[in-house]
Chains A and B, each alone.
Chain A
C-alpha cells in the first residue's frame, strides 16, 4: 500500500466516524548507519519505519493518535482518534485545518538518489575516510556515527490538502582523542547535509585531528575577563542564536506571551548587521520540503532584517488566532533523526534559519579583536530563551590578544546575555555552514565575560 493509500483510508474512516475535520500524516523512512568504535566500524544497522499520525476533530475537540500499524489496523487507529477527540475538552482557539495550496517546488525537489541508495558498505567507506585522516600513532577515533536517511511523507486533510515530499539527509558525529593519562585532548566534529557527496570526509577527519591536538595544548584559564569579544565558530554560535531566535519567533510562544519579542514586530531588536531568514526551501536545509508537515507549501520568511523584527513563524493553528496565514512552519520532522516524526502533532518551529554570509574571514575578524576568545567547541552551547542568559563551558577555545590567537584554554566559562549581545555591534563571518537546522557563519559578540578558575 502506498503512503497516499494509507492516508486515504485514514481519511475515509474518519469521515465515516463523523469527524468534522481530520488530518492524516503518513511517513516512511529508511536509514542506514555505521557506528565507529575505537577506529573501526563496530555496529552497522539498517532500519525501516512507517508510521501514521491522525488528528480527529469534532467541532473544537481535537484528538491525536499515532501508530506504526504493526499490531493494529487503520480502523483501530481511527476509532482511537475519535475516542480521544470525544474525551478532549473544546479548544476555543482552534479555527480550522489549513486549506490546500499549490507547492512551489516538486515533491522530490530535495531528494537525492545517490544518498537514498547509500548502503552500509558505502557508509563504512566514508566513515573510514574520516578515521584514516584523523588517526595516527598518537591519535584515535574512539566514537563516530554516520547515517543516511531517506524520508517520504504524505499529508491529507478534509479540506482537500493532499500533498507530500521526499527528501534525504546525512548526519555524522565523530570524536578524536590524543594524549596520555596526564593530559588528553578531544576533537568533536559533526557533519550535516542533504547529499552524501557534498561532504568532504577526509577534511572532517583532518579538522578532528587538529582540534584534538589543540585541546591537548590547552591550559586551565585562571583569570576573569570582562567586556571581552567572543568569536563563535558556526557550529556553536548558530546553536545559541538559533535557539534564541527560533524560540522567540515561534508564534506558539508569542501567542502564549512567553516570547520576549511578543508585540515587537517593527521594533529594532538587534544590531543592524543582523539579518535572519527562515527558509523552508533552503537548498542546504535538512528539513526543506515541498510542504510542511500539515501540507502547507514551504516558503522563505524574513524574520529579522537589518536588526528589525519583521515577522513571527506560524503554523496554521497559531496563524488563525491572529488572522494571518501559516508561514509553513508546522513541523514534526527532526533535522537529526528521521525516525519517530509521526508520534506527535505538528509544533510551530523554524525550518532552516539562515544568516547570510558576511564578507570577513575568521582571520580578519580575529585581527580586529583586542581582547577575547575564539570558541570552536562548547560542552553544550545553551542559552535561556526567556532571559537570554548563557553560561557555557568552553572545551576547545583560544584567547585573542591584540588581534592574534594566543593561549589555548580549558576549564573556563563564557558568560553573558544574548539579547544584550545581539544589540551591540556584531561581526558576521563569510564561512556559511550547515549545523542542524541552521545555516549560519561565524559570529562575534561583544561585551562577554570569560570566567576561569
Chain B
C-alpha cells in the first residue's frame, strides 16, 4: 500500500491450516489446526471433530442424508496469462506508485491511498464419499481512495478493479484514468449539496443495483436461512416477487470474476442459479446439507472463509440481469428523481425483508436531465415493495467486487452487479 507517495506497507503472508469436519445426525463437529501435519495429528483432528459432533447430536431432531453427494476426483489449475508470482516485484511497485501519482490532480487532494494485492489459495479436499480434489484460486485486486480537503470540508471517492485473473488484468488497465477519475470525483464532492430525503424515484447505476441484488434477495436466497424459515423468501418459489422486468442470477462460473470458484468448500462444482425469473421467484443457493433437506441438487454455494471457519450457504457472483433500456433513456424518461452512483456499503434484512444500501453520491434528475450533484445517502425500504416498482432496466451490465460477510463475519470474495435500474425507495441524505 502506498500512501501519499510513500510505501506504507509491503507484505507477503503465507497461511496454511487443516480442518476436519464430521456429521452425526444433523450436528457438525469441526476441529482445525495450523500445526504441521502428522498421521497422529490428523487422527486427533478427526477424533475431536467426531466427538464434538456426537456430543451435540443429542439435540438433533433429524438426520441429514448425504448419500446423494456425487464423488469427484479432479485436479484443477487456474489458467492465467501472467502468474503474479512470476511478475517482478518492481513492476507491482511501479504500478502502485503510478496510481499514487495519478491521484494528484489538484492541491486539494490531501491524501492518496493506493493498494495492489494478489492472493493464491490452494485447496485440497477429501471426504468419505470418495471425493479427492485439489484446486487453486488466484485473485488480484487494486484499490484507489483519494481524499480531498477544502477548509474543514473533506470528501473521498474510491474505485477498484478485481478478478479471478492473472497480472494481465493490471497490464491492460489504464492506471492513470483508473486513479485520476475518483480524484476528480472527490474534488467535485467538496461542493456537492446534501441529498434530499423522502420516498423518491431512484435510478441506480450498475454498482448500486448489484449491492441491492446482493443484499435484497441474495442473502435471503441462501438456503440455510430458508430451511429454518428465517428468510422472508421461504416458500416463495413460483410466486411473484417483483415486476416482470426483474430477473436475478447467482453464477459462480463467470469467467474471471472475483466471486468465481471452480468448487465450493464442500467440493461441489460451482453453477448458475436463477433466483428471480421475470419477477417470479425461482430458486435458492444450496450447500450439500440444504440440498439434501430440500430434495434438490447442491448448487456449489457451500463456502467457508478459510480452514478456521464454518461452511454455509453463500453467494458467488450475484446480479440483476439486463433489460432493454439504454442508460440515457432511463434518465431522460425520469421527470423527478435521483440518479444514485457508487455504493459504499449494504446490509441485508433476511427476516424482515428490508434493506440498507449507502451510496457515495448522486445527481438530482429534473425533467429527464441530471442537474445538481449531491453527496452521501442511504437507500432503504421494503424489498418486495421496491422490486414491484422496478419499471426500467438497462441493457448494459456492470460488476463490482467485494468481500461479503454473513452474520457480521465469515468473509468471502464475491461480485455483485446489474444494469441501471429505476425503482421507488426511501432516500436519506446525510
Contact status B60-A186, CB under 8 Å? no
Kindly state the interface size class of chain A when it binds its partner. 35 or more
Residue positions of B touching A, CB distance < 8 A: 3-4, 6-18, 26-37, 48, 52-53, 55-56, 59-61, 89-90, 93, 110-111, 147, 149, 152-156, 197-199, 224-225, 228-230, 232, 308, 310, 344-345, 347, 349, 351-352, 354-356, 358, 375-378, 380-382, 407-409, 426-430
Asked if A410 is an interface residue, CB under 8 A from chain B, the answer is: yes
Contact B33 A65 (CB under 8 A): no
Q: Are A143 and B407 in contact (CB under 8 A)?
A: yes
Given A387-B154, A393-B347: A51 touches B15 (CB 8 Å cut-off): yes
Binds B, one of A86-94, A202-210, A301-309, A356-364: A86-94
Given A46-B48, A50-B35, A389-B376, answer yes or no on A173-B11 (Cβ-Cβ < 8 Å): no
- Rounded to whole angstroms, the CA-CA distance of A43 and B15 in the bound complex is 24
| B430 engages A389 (CB within 8 Å) | yes
A387 surroundings in chain B (CB, below 8 A): 153-155, 375-376
- Pick the residue among B31, B61, B345, B408 that contacts A382 (CB under 8 A): B345
| Segment of A17-25, A255-263, A399-407 engaged in the interface with chain B | A255-263
20 A-B residue pairings within 8 Å (CB atoms): A38-B228, A44-B56, A45-B52, A45-B310, A46-B31, A47-B33, A49-B34, A50-B34, A68-B16, A68-B17, A68-B34, A70-B36, A89-B6, A143-B230, A256-B111, A340-B15, A389-B430, A395-B352, A410-B354, A412-B426
Contact indicator per residue, chain A 234-247, by CB within 8 Å of chain B (1) or not (0): 00000000000000
| CB < 8 Å neighbour of A386 from B13, B147, B355, B377 | B147
Q: Does A164 contact B (CB under 8 A)?
A: no
Query: Known: A43-B310, A47-B33, A379-B354. Is A413-B9 also a contact (CB below 8 A)?
Result: no
Besides the contacts A44-B27, A47-B308, A379-B356, what 20 more A-B pairs have beta carbons closer than 8 Å? A40-B61, A44-B30, A46-B32, A48-B33, A64-B9, A65-B13, A80-B14, A175-B230, A258-B147, A260-B152, A379-B349, A384-B376, A386-B147, A386-B156, A390-B430, A391-B376, A392-B378, A410-B352, A410-B354, A449-B197
Nearest to A70 among chain B residues (CB) is: B16
A130 CB-CB contact with B under 8 Å: no
List A residues 12-57 near B (Cβ within 8 Å): 34-35, 37-38, 40-51
B14 lies within 8 A of A257 (CB): no
Known: A65-B13, A71-B14, A143-B230. A45 touches B376 (CB 8 A): no
Tell me whether A66 and B15 are in contact (CB under 8 A). yes
Given A71-B14, A173-B407, A384-B376: A391 and B30 within 8 A (CB)?
no
* Inter-subunit contact A386/B155 (CB<8 Å): yes
B3, B375, B380 — most chain A CB neighbours (10 Å) = B380
- Say whether A300 faces chain B, with CB atoms less than 8 Å apart: no
How far, in angstroms, from A38 to B27 measured CA to CA in the complex? Answer: 12
* A87, B89: Cβ atoms closer than 8 Å: yes
Q: Which residue of B lies closest to A88 (CB)?
A: B10
Q: CA–CA, A395 to B407, complex, Å?
A: 15
Decide: B378 and A84 in contact? CB cutoff 8 A: no
Q: Does A133 contact B (CB under 8 A)?
A: no
Residues of A within 8 A of B17 (CB): 49, 68, 70
A430 interfacial by beta-carbon distance below 8 Å: no
Interface residues as binary, A400-423 with B (CB distance below 8 Å gives 1, 0 otherwise): 000000000011111111000000
Cβ proximity bits A96-128 to B, threshold 8 Å, 1 near / 0 not: 000000000000000000000000110010000
Chain A residues closer than 8 Å to B349, beta-carbon distance? 186, 379, 395
Min C-beta distance of A51 to chain B, whole Å: 7
**Would you call A452 an interface residue if the criterion is a C-beta within 8 Å of the partner chain's C-beta atoms?**
yes
A386 CA / B157 CA spacing, docked (Å)? 11
> Beyond A68-B15, A382-B358, is A413–B426 a contact (Cβ under 8 Å)?
yes
Specify which chain A residues have a CB less than 8 angstroms from the CB of B34 in the assembled complex. 48-51, 68-70
**A296 at interface by CB-CB < 8 Å:** no
B53 touches A67 (CB 8 A): no
CB of B19, distance to nearest CB on chain A (Å):
8
Question: Which A183-225 residues have a C-beta within 8 angstroms of B?
Answer: 184-186, 215, 220, 224
Contact in complex: B154, A47 (CB < 8 Å): no
The docked-state distance in angstroms from the alpha carbon of A258 to that of B3 is 11
**Residues of chain B with a CB closer than 8 A to A411's CB:** 354, 380-382, 426
Known: A44-B30, A48-B35, A453-B199. A91 touches B156 (CB 8 A): no
- A145: CB under 8 A from chain B? yes
Measured in the bound complex, the distance between the Cα atoms of B355 and A49 in whole Å is 36
Q: At the interface, yes or no: A137 with Cβ under 8 Å from chain B?
A: no
Task: Decide if A64 touches B11 in the complex (CB within 8 Å).
Answer: yes
With both beta carbons as reference points, the residue of chain B lying nearest to A81 in the complex is identified as B12
* A-chain residues with CB within 8 Å of residue B111 when the two chains form the complex: 256-258
Asked if A336 lies at the interface with its beta carbon under 8 angstroms from chain B, I say yes
Q: Which residues of A contact B61 (CB under 8 A)?
A: 40
Cα–Cα distance between A46 and B52 once the two chains are bound (Å) = 9
Q: Chain A residues with Cβ under 8 A from B27's Cβ?
A: 41-44
Knowing A89-B93, A186-B351, say if A84 contacts B10 (CB, 8 Å).
Answer: yes
The residue on B at minimum CB distance from A93 is B6
> Are the CB atoms of A184 and B352 closer together than 8 Å?
yes
Question: Given known contacts A67-B15, A386-B156, is B56 in contact with A124 (CB within 8 Å)?
Answer: yes
Is A62 engaged at the interface, CB distance under 8 Å to the other chain? yes
Counting CB contacts under 8 A, is A441 at the interface?
no
Q: Does A72 contact B (CB under 8 A)?
A: yes
**Residues from chain B with Cβ under 8 Å of A38 in the complex:** 228
Question: In the complex, A43 Cα to B430 Cα: how many Å?
Answer: 41
Q: How far is the CB of A136 from chain B (nearest CB, A)?
A: 16
> From A47, which residue of chain B is reached at the shortest CB distance?
B32
| A417 to B139 CA separation, bound complex (whole angstroms) | 37
